Amino acid sequence: MKILSVVGARPNFMKVAPIIAAVESHNRKVSVSSDGGEPIQHLLVHTGQHYGDLMSDSFFADLGLPKPDVHMGVGSGSHAVQSAEIMKRFEEILLAERPDVVIVVGDVNSTLACAVVTSKISFDTNGARPLIAHVESGLRSFDRTMPEEINRVVTDHVVDLLFVTEESGIRNLKNEGISPDKIHFVGNTMIDSLLRFLAKADSSKKLDELHLRLPSGNTGRSSVTPYALLTMHRPANVDNPEAFREILAGLEELATDLPIVFPVHPRTRKRMEEFGLKLHLSGESKSNAGGLVLIDPLGYLDFLCLMKNAAIVVTDSGGIQEETTCLGVPCVTVRDNTERPVTVDKGTNVIAGTAQAGIRAAIRSQRTRSGSNSVPQFWDGHAAERIVDLLSRVRQSNLVRA
Ligand code: UD1
């Protein structure tokens, strides 16, 4: 069986890495057992939606991902240009490689583009094509102004196997009329990566570089200065100067008290320069004096280390809401909605909206939050094994559909 997995943007890399590890483990089992099934040939295709060391290469190194078998190098562009470039090149790759299964993950433009191309490809006159699997299926914000929501909905309606991370996903897909036999609740491959790399993240030197680790003193054990971690890159939050200023105003109170470490996404950096927002909220850059500490985007292990040790995380990302839930770190989401309601149900995540009063109130309540942390079902480090096990049991004859 030949499986082709697509990665494109930063949040895709940690979702695919465990799948590749599970394929390798499957192949090891097959090689020592006569009835262990068929070996899987795996191909990794990188669209190049994200590129360069900070947004792509460092993740390959941190996650131990193999070099992509094919790198399309599409780069940045409008949604139409980027998606169209990916579609054109992916069609050629499919025709050359003729995989049995195509795996797409998450909700980025690369996910949508490759799922749509695969759903329409034809390997022969009967219209045979690969089976398409979507990892992280069924999430819905019900906000069609988010580009990712369009990507999620369209992708889920053209794929054959829908791998769901949380129960809301099953409900959403059924409500949209998707047949229950296509839906598989397997857990969260992003959490597979988190659990696998958490211990390794402890060797990150970022806390020391940012002067956030206190010297060990007499006890011989160092401790971490309380700090907040901020990420912000969603177009609705950073592409409009008033919206962006409003969010920064909502962070001012927190910044007088704790240093806010802010790894700045390239989109956000560009906007900050355009809007002249650089000096707004810039307290002392010495991290134990409060204020905003602007740094470059971080690699996976460095970011995990900062997230794990943060007193509070403020974000507009999807994946970080899940990772903080797993870590039990209080999270404030600067958006009006979430497609990941389980993170709110579990109590680690609060949806603050984007107005300064709401952000300030959510931060206050999260800073005094107490209570135990429980992790959602199947967020146990074995989601990718479930996926590969399921794929390996789909008989070859069922894969290429006429
Ligand atoms: C994309 C995803 C979003 C995801 C985010 C994580 C879509 C629609 N959006 O948003 O879901 O949460 O990635 O980062 O797919 N840029 C660089 N270097 C890069 C990548 C981007 O400089 O490696 C700059 C470019 O100027 C580009 C801008 O950032 O125009 C936006 O990049 P793009 O990939 O279009 O969307 P993101 O905002 O990163």
| pLDDT tens-digit map of 220-243 | 667 999 999 999 999 999 999 999
Question: Is 34 strand, coil or helix?
Answer: coil
Rg for the chain, CA atoms, rounded: 22
Atom of ligand 1 nearest to the CA of 317: 12
Q: By mean pLDDT, which of 36-45, 210-219, 346-355 is the weakest?
A: 210-219
Give the model's confidence band at 374: pLDDT under 50 very low, under 70 low, under 90 confident, else very high: confident
Q: By mean pLDDT, which of 177-181, 215-219, 304-308, 383-387 is the weakest?
A: 215-219
Q: What is the mean pLDDT of residues 303-313?
A: 97
Separation of CA 285 and ligand 1 centre (Å): 27
Among protein residues, the one whose CA lies closest to atom 2 of ligand 1: 108
77 lines ligand 1 (CB under 6 A): no
Q: Whose CA is closest to 176, among 222, 223, 211, 138?
A: 138
Q: Which domains does the chain have, with CATH numbers?
A: 2-188+380-401 (3.40.50.2000), 205-367 (3.40.50.2000)
Q: From CA 12, how far away is CA 145, in angstroms rounded?
A: 22
Q: From CA 301, how far away is CA 205, in angstroms rounded?
A: 10
Q: From CA 358, how far away is CA 336, in angstroms rounded?
A: 10
Other residues' Cβ atoms within 10 Å of the Cβ of residue 336: 15
> Quick one: pLDDT at residue 168?
98
Q: Whose CA is closest to 83, among 56, 117, 43?
A: 117
Question: First vs last Cα of the chain: how many Å apart?
Answer: 17
Active site (catalytic) residues? 233
Tell me which of 13, 47, 49, 244 to substitute to probe ligand 1's pocket, judged by most ligand atoms within 8 Å of the beta carbon.
49
> Quick one: pLDDT at residue 282?
45
Atom of ligand 1 nearest to the CA of 235: 38
> Quick one: pLDDT at residue 13?
98
Q: From CA 130, how far away is CA 119, in angstroms rounded?
A: 8
Q: What is the mean pLDDT of residues 110-122?
A: 98
The DSSP-derived string for 332-344 is EE-SS--S-THHH
Written as six digits, the tokens of 132 are 């398409």
Q: From CA 124, how far away is CA 131, in angstroms rounded?
A: 15
Q: Which residues contact 379 (CB under 8 A, 6 or more apart)?
A: 165, 187, 188, 191, 322, 325, 326
Separation of CA 97 and ligand 1 centre (Å): 28
Q: Residues 356-361: contacts with CB within 8 Å, 24+ apart?
A: 356/246, 356/247, 356/249, 356/250, 357/250, 358/250, 359/247, 359/250, 359/251, 359/314, 359/332, 359/334, 360/250, 360/253, 360/254
> Do the beta carbons of residue 150 and residue 124 sit within 8 Å?
no
Question: Is 271 strand, coil or helix?
Answer: helix
Q: What is the mean pLDDT of the chain?
A: 93
Give the model's confidence band at 397: pLDDT under 50 very low, under 70 low, under 90 confident, else very high: very low
233 lines ligand 1 (CB under 6 A): yes
Q: By mean pLDDT, which of 33-37, 138-142, 180-184 is the weakest?
A: 33-37
Q: From CA 317, how far away is CA 311, in angstroms rounded?
A: 18
Maximum CA pair distance of the chain? 76
pLDDT > 50? residue 286: no
pLDDT > 60? residue 279: no
> Quick one: pLDDT at residue 36?
67
Q: Which residues contact 165 (CB under 8 A, 6 or more apart)?
A: 136, 137, 138, 139, 186, 187, 188, 190, 322, 376, 378, 379, 383
Q: From CA 205, how far away is CA 148, in angstroms rounded?
A: 33
Q: By mean pLDDT, which of 31-40, 139-148, 239-248 is the weakest?
A: 31-40
> Quick one: pLDDT at residue 395?
57
Q: What is the mean pLDDT of residues 51-58?
A: 97
Task: Provide the phi-psi class of 78: left if phi over 0, else alpha when psi is between -120 and 50, else beta.
Answer: beta
* Alpha carbon separation from 319 to 58, 143, 184, 246, 360 (Å, rounded): 18, 17, 20, 23, 22
Q: By mean pLDDT, which of 131-145, 257-271, 272-286, 300-314 is the weakest?
A: 272-286
| pLDDT tens-digit map of 126-174 | 999 999 999 999 999 999 999 999 999 999 999 999 999 999 999 999 9
Atom of ligand 1 nearest to the CA of 107: 11
> Quick one: pLDDT at residue 275?
93
Atom of ligand 1 nearest to the CA of 82: 35
Percent above pLDDT 70 for the chain: 93
Among protein residues, the one whose CA lies closest to atom 11 of ligand 1: 108
Q: Whose CA is closest to 298, among 187, 204, 399, 169?
A: 204
> Quick one: pLDDT at residue 37?
83
pLDDT > 90? residue 362: yes
pLDDT > 70? residue 398: no
Place of tokens 């995380």: 313
Q: From CA 176, how far away is CA 168, in angstroms rounded?
A: 12
> Quick one: pLDDT at residue 284?
41
> Quick one: pLDDT at residue 394?
82
